[in-house]
Structure 1
Amino acid sequence: MSIHVPLPVPTPSHEIAPPSALSEKQQTAYDHVLEHFTAVDYALPNVNQEKAALTVDENFWLSYECLLRYLRATNWNADLAIKRLEDTLRWRREFGIYDKITSEYIEPEATTGKAFLFGYDTHGRPAIYVSPSKVGAEESPRTLQFIVWIAERSFDLMGPGVESLALLADFADNAKYPSIGLSRTVLDIIQTHYPERLGLALVTHLSWLVNAFIALLMPFMDPHTRQKLVFNPVINENGLFRTTADAEVWDADSTSRVFEPAQLIQEGWNGSQQFAYSHCVYWEALLKLCEERRSRMFVVWHRMGGKIGIKEWDIKVAVRDEMSDGHVDVDGTLTENGQLQS
Structure 2
Amino acid sequence: MSTSGSIAPGRPETLTKEEEAKLKEFWNAALKVFGAGASEGPESPPQTPTDAAAEEENGDSVTPHTSPDKRRKKTLGRLLSRKEKGGAPKKETAVATGAGADIVLDAPDDKYGHTKEFKAALASQTPDQLRDAFWSMVKCDNPDALLLRFLRARKWDVDKALVMMVATMNWRSEEMNVQALVRKGEGGAAAEKDSDFMMQLRMGKSYLHGLDKEGRPICFVRVRLHKQGEQSEESLERYTVYIMETARLMLQPPVDTAAVVFDMTGFSMANMDYAPVKYLIKCFEAHYPESLGICLVHKAPWLFSSIWTVIKGWLDPVVASKIHFTKTTEDMEAFIPRENIPKELGGSEDWTYTYVEPITDENAPLGEEARRNVLQSAREDQIRKYETATRTWIAGGEAGENAAAERKAIARKLATGYWEMDRHLRARTVYDRTGVLSPNGEVDFYGYRKKAAAVETSEDDID
SS in structure 1 opposite 2:356? Answer: helix
Give the one of 169, 172, 189 matched to 2:283. Answer: 189
**Match of 1:240?**
332
**1:205/1:263 Cα in 2 relative to 1: closer, same or farther (>3 Å)?**
same
2: CA distance between counterparts of 1:50 and 1:317? 24
With structure 2 as the length reference, what TM-score do the two structures score? 0.54
Q: Does 1:146 align with 2:239?
A: yes
Instruction: Show CA shifts across 1:181-240 (max 9, x none).
Output: 33222212211112111111111111122222111111111111111111115523xx83
Matches within 5 A, 1:3-82: 12=1, 14-17=2-5, 19-39=12-32, 41=35, 45-46=121-122, 48-49=124-125, 52-54=128-130, 56=132, 58-62=134-138, 63-82=143-162
Could you say which structure has the greater relative contact order, defined with CA pairs below 8 angstroms and 6 or more residues apart?
A: 1
**Match of 1:275?**
351
> CA offset at residue 169 of structure 1?
1.0
Asked whether the equivalents of residues 161 and 313 of structure 1 are also in contact (C-alpha less than 8 Å), the reply is no
> CA offset at residue 264 of structure 1?
1.7
Q: Does 1:123 align with 2:217?
A: no
2: CA distance between counterparts of 1:137 and 1:334? 35
SS in structure 1 opposite 2:254? Answer: coil
- Which residues of structure 2 form unaligned runs of 5+? 37-93, 96-120, 190-196, 367-371, 391-406, 427-463
> CA offset at residue 125 of structure 1?
0.7
Matches within 5 A, 1:179-218: 179-218=273-312
Matches within 5 A, 1:279-298: 279-280=355-356
Asked whether the equivalents of residues 299 and 327 of structure 2 are also in contact (C-alpha less than 8 Å), the reply is no
**Match of 1:136?**
227
Q: Where is the strand percentage greater, Structure 1 or Structure 2? A: 1
Asked whether the equivalents of residues 164 and 197 of structure 1 are also in contact (C-alpha less than 8 Å), the reply is yes
Instruction: Show CA shifts across 1:224-262 (max 9, x none).
Output: 1111111115523xx834xxxxxxxxxxxxxxx421122
How many pairs align?
288
Matches within 5 A, 1:89-108: 89-93=169-173, 94-100=175-181, 102-103=184-185, 104-105=188-189, 106-108=197-199
Amino acid at match of 1:158: L
> CA offset at residue 135 of structure 1?
1.5
Q: Does 1:263 align with 2:354?
A: no
**Match of 2:250?**
157
2: CA distance between counterparts of 1:96 and 1:303? 21
Q: Give RMSD over aligned pairs.
A: 3.6
> CA offset at residue 304 of structure 1?
9.4
Amino acid at match of 1:155: R
**Match of 2:424?**
336
Asked whether the equivalents of residues 160 and 312 of structure 1 are also in contact (C-alpha less than 8 Å), the reply is no
